Structure 1
Amino acid sequence: MAELPYELPDRVDQLLARAAAATPAHPAIVDDGTELDYATLDARVDSFAAALQDRTAAGDVVAVASVLHPDFAVAYHAAARAGRTVAVVNPLLREEDLLHVLTLGGAAVAVVDAALEARLAAVRDRLPALREVLRIGALPAGAGAPADPGTGPGDTAVLQFTSGTTGRPKAVRLSHRNVVVNAAQIAEAHRLDGTTVALNHLPTYHPMHLNSAVAAGATQVLCRAPEPLVALLTAGRCGATILYSLPVRLARLAADPDLDSVSVRSLRRIASGGSGLPVAAARRLSKRFSVPVFQGYGLAETSPLTHSDDPDRPVHGSVGRPVAGTECRIVDIDTRAVLPAGSAGEVQLRGPQVMRGYLGGPDGTGLEPDGWLSTGDVGRVDEDGRLFLVDRLKDVFKCDNFLVAPSDVERVLLRDPRVADAVVVELPDTAHGAVAGALVVLREPSALGDVVAGVNDALPYYQHIRDAMALDAIPRSGNGKIQRRLLAEQLRNHQPA
């Protein structure tokens, strides 16, 4: 296990203050052609932090929608500078899930875009703790500089929401040290520095990319266009040196017939994360642009990154070795004995970026007594220490890098009085990685199309049911368990409804 050679600040917002002091005029964020330098970004954080101190009390939670907009960076760091906890909210959530995460986090203020504000209005009367909603793009300014918040490395900086085995999001408590350490770990693992121009081609603004770039004093370019080829053209125009994207987007890019017509001379690396990148796509892109294509691994509980493949000499199919200061081991799923290299078992992680615990419990909630985190992922480690992921223990899957819990979709299905029983399964999809399929027992046999349409209207796109079939009954084993894989195969062999 490599040690951390860094001098780290005590709070996450001090990463930004340090970058602003070192290179004030250097571009920090480029959005739709508009540049925001480090000094200006830091000043905006100061101003909004002062406004938050006027509007909230010490320890309050500020929910911030992670839209791909510079104001996410401002609000995220301002909450930390004000001595508040920032809760990172997926901007694509629909009303019921939005209600759940804001209630769970106890948000006093929500910073959202216009689309999320409209959905929030529908459940606002069920959020008594939420005192104020502020709009991204029109953040209020405070008078003067914010007061010293008095928070330190061990205090909770961030609530990151994730899905558990039941499919309902849990709130992960990340300390300032967790986040600051991981920012430095990522910057080192990805070879980021002041010359880096990182293109973020992602549907949301992930704190991982925000904080690692700030820690390195790098420039971030935000690309909201979903089309991979557009992102590549943007990378060429802005002189991007590294392209961050999703596996499903990179796979589509690799298959694009116009790929050979685009040249990006500045590009040095392509990075993928969130789910597995097909080996063929990685090889195609690497050969086309003569650059390494690498991926990594992590969880909300680990701030998030724990593994990164070598960005100069990646091994396609692997998520790489642990980042600095991080341990990884494989344990037997049943006996929990530590397994040797090459054996498949559950992945366990330990390091300074591992969470303090889940919200609602004391420090260590969700961890083994000795600090190990059981991930729920099955993998193996080769003789060189590289991790290869094999499968998941749980039934959740990812669509466009968003975690989909079948129980979430099932819950909405079963709210319809025409549905007597339902099971949601994972279906492979070349465009999105995976999508939801449903097997439904109906009280009104002709209602399947209307039921699916109603469910999809109540859910974000990545949870939409893309294929469905009606059954007379859902087959279950003697102990009542559902064999989702067999049902998924049955659905795949059925003509789409």
Structure 2
Amino acid sequence: MNVPADSTTFGAPLDTVAELIGGPRIDDLLRRAARRTPRHPALVSDGRVIDYADLDQRVTECAEALRDAFGGPGTVIAIAAELTVEFAVTFLGISRSGNTSAMFNPLVPDDTLVHVLDSCGARAAVLSPRMHRRIAALRNRLPKLRQLVVTAEAGDGTPVLGELPRTVVPAGEAVETACLQFTSGTTGAPKTVRLSHRNLLVNAAQSAHAHRLDADSVSLNNLPSFHLMHLNTALAVGATHLLCPAEDREAMVRLAGAWQATHLYSLPVRLSRLAEDERLPSLRIPSLRVVLSGGSALPPRTTTALSEHFGVPVVQGYGLAETSPSTHFDLPEGPTVGSSGPPVAGTACRIVDVRTGAVLPAGERGEIQVRGPQLMLGYLGDGHGDAVDADGWFRTGDVGRIDEAGRLFVVDRIKDVFKCDNWLVSPTEIERVLMRHPAVTDCVVFDQPDELSGAVAVGLVVPRGEGVDPAALAEFANAQLPYYEHLRQLHLVEGIPRSATGKVQRRELRDRLLGSL
């Protein structure tokens, strides 16, 4: 039901997590792991194996170079969240230097990149040569960004991080804001989220516990960019973290086998492609304990296919940039298909009516609201705005329901749902039904204005093979849906534009389709 989860993590109150790990900053996770198991592999990437002692030394050297180059404390330093060793070193180095990192997604388009870098007020940036070339081309649109450093020689005289002078950082120095992150911007311009060291420390412990990670775990990160949760959870328990950004399924399985990976992290779009890969029967990971997904809903047929093939649970979670990010994760011991699971330790969740704000009982759909110690400090320049009420409940903007066992089922974004004959309709739920048809490779559903009903469901489908009849697909879906969710039209298309993380700009596609009719 809608009650707070157990308020302990690893048997200790969440309020004392920072003290338990031995320091007030997120980089203290690394310092503790380096003391405990200095020669244990920490990061593996492109054939490089970096143990905890080596990683800790690199972070200290980075911190001293950053302090000399950019000063501090509190300087905002931008970094691209590329899935590399250099990102991990730089993020932790910024923390250890007493400054604040501004993490941006390296995959966003130029206009979004300019917006986030300008809105966060970054004065400096540490970039890979590839990202440096991109930022350099946008420099005339970024007047606040005054100092650039590269992680390796860029060929244009830009200072290289490893060649900078160093200044010792005062011991124990920290600032309140550990890092700035950005919302996805799927329903508007990205907002700048302020996360504290405590936010990140607590969520590292919450997530490591929910994922059943320990010092013997080997996590394989097969995402196109770096998410702090994966770095911080591995550091929290002293696990080995394998970085595999490319979508090369055979290479990923070889790496997993060589290092006896126990946890496979990926995105729904990549896991779905893996499930449909004709080579899947030959791809085995005997050491695997669990497949973990996040970012968007995982199709049930993908869950079933991968769970049956690998013989392990396939689970998903839920979270947001504002919650550091994790608030829910399904139980590896007994996952429920389609569920994001119960709240992580110390976190409460409730469902409220999207119009009145009244708390709803189990099973009812409404807005998801969460509360817990991982909730952000606020938005930069705007505090919490109207996102958090007086009792600390954060309005996620997502629609969902909670079952009798306390498991969360995410339905859709509030801005994507619509009403047909006064019934709340979720495009995502219609898409899930469509995806059950073997002739559907991909799809997206949205609303179309209707004089009688207010709005009705229409959609785009990427067919598998030739001769697919859209009317037959609509009939297949409608037979499994209540009348108010029936598809009135389906259009066949060659592809549906998605971001690298699998998200779709539903409103943009809707307006484009309606404009062409």
TM-score range, shorter chain: 0.7 to 0.9
- Please say if 1:143 is aligned against 2:158: no
1:152-171 equivalent positions in 2, closer than 5 A: 155-164=176-185, 167-171=188-192
Picking from 69, 87, 90, the partner of 1:55 is: 69
Separation in structure 1 between the aligned mates of residue 387 and residue 380 of structure 2, nearest angstrom: 10
Indicate the residue corresponding to 2:257 in structure 1.
236
Indicate the residue corresponding to 1:341 in structure 2.
362
**TM-score (normalised: structure 1):** 0.79
Report the alpha carbon displacement of residue 29 of structure 1 after superposing the two structures with TM.
Answer: 0.2
Separation in structure 2 between the aligned mates of residue 240 and residue 216 of structure 1, nearest angstrom: 15
Task: After superposing the two structures, state which structure 1 stretch, 132-141 or 268-277, moved more.
Answer: 132-141
Picking from 384, 404, 419, the partner of 2:405 is: 384
1:268-347 equivalent positions in 2, closer than 5 A: 268-347=289-368
Separation in structure 2 between the aligned mates of residue 132 and residue 45 of structure 1, nearest angstrom: 20
1:159–1:174 contact (8 Å) kept in structure 2:
yes
Report the alpha carbon displacement of residue 350 of structure 1 after superposing the two structures with TM.
Answer: 0.4
RMSD (Å), alpha carbons: 2.9
Picking from 105, 110, 113, the partner of 1:90 is: 105
For residues 204-246 of structure 1, give each alpha carbon's deviation from its aligned partner in whole angstroms, at most 9, with x where no partner exists. Answer: 0111100111001000001122133432232112211110001
Separation in structure 2 between the aligned mates of residue 133 and residue 324 of structure 1, nearest angstrom: 40
Q: Which runs of 5+ in 2 are unaligned?
A: 153-159, 418-426, 429-457, 465-496
- Secondary structure of residue in 1 paired with 2:161: coil
Report the alpha carbon displacement of residue 94 of structure 1 after superposing the two structures with TM.
Answer: 3.3
Report the alpha carbon displacement of residue 130 of structure 1 after superposing the two structures with TM.
Answer: 1.7
- Secondary structure of residue in 2 paired with 1:253: helix
Picking from 103, 109, 113, the partner of 2:128 is: 113
Q: What is the aligned length?
A: 424
Change (3 A) 1:465 1:192: closer
Separation in structure 1 between the aligned mates of residue 112 and residue 150 of structure 2, nearest angstrom: 20
Indicate the residue corresponding to 1:17 in structure 2.
31
Indicate the residue corresponding to 1:357 in structure 2.
378
Change (3 A) 1:157 1:369: same
Picking from 51, 57, 64, the partner of 1:37 is: 51
Separation in structure 2 between the aligned mates of residue 355 and residue 264 of structure 1, nearest angstrom: 37
For residues 392-435 of structure 1, give each alpha carbon's deviation from its aligned partner in whole angstroms, at most 9, with x where no partner exists. Answer: 1124999xxxxxxxxxxxxxxxxxxxxxxxxxx9856699xxxx
Query: What amino acid does structure 1 have at the position aligned with 2:7?
Result: E
- Please say if 1:27 is aligned against 2:41: yes
Query: What amino acid does structure 1 have at the position aligned with 2:260?
Result: G
Change (3 A) 1:266 1:145: farther
2:220–2:242 contact (8 Å) kept in structure 1:
yes
1:346–1:375 contact (8 Å) kept in structure 2:
yes
Report the alpha carbon displacement of residue 364 of structure 1 after superposing the two structures with TM.
Answer: 6.7
Report the alpha carbon displacement of residue 113 of structure 1 after superposing the two structures with TM.
Answer: 2.1
Change (3 A) 1:191 1:84: same
Percent identity, please: 50
Indicate the residue corresponding to 2:84 in structure 1.
69
Separation in structure 1 between the aligned mates of residue 338 and residue 121 of structure 2, nearest angstrom: 40
Indicate the residue corresponding to 1:445 in structure 2.
none
For residues 177-209 of structure 1, give each alpha carbon's deviation from its aligned partner in whole angstroms, at most 9, with x where no partner exists. Answer: 001100010110001111010000000011110
Separation in structure 1 between the aligned mates of residue 194 and residue 249 of structure 2, nearest angstrom: 34
Change (3 A) 1:316 1:91: same
1:228–1:252 contact (8 Å) kept in structure 2:
no
Report the alpha carbon displacement of residue 61 of structure 1 after superposing the two structures with TM.
Answer: 0.3
For residues 23-63 of structure 1, give each alpha carbon's deviation from its aligned partner in whole angstroms, at most 9, with x where no partner exists. Answer: 11110000012100011111111011011111223211011
2:73–2:174 contact (8 Å) kept in structure 1:
no
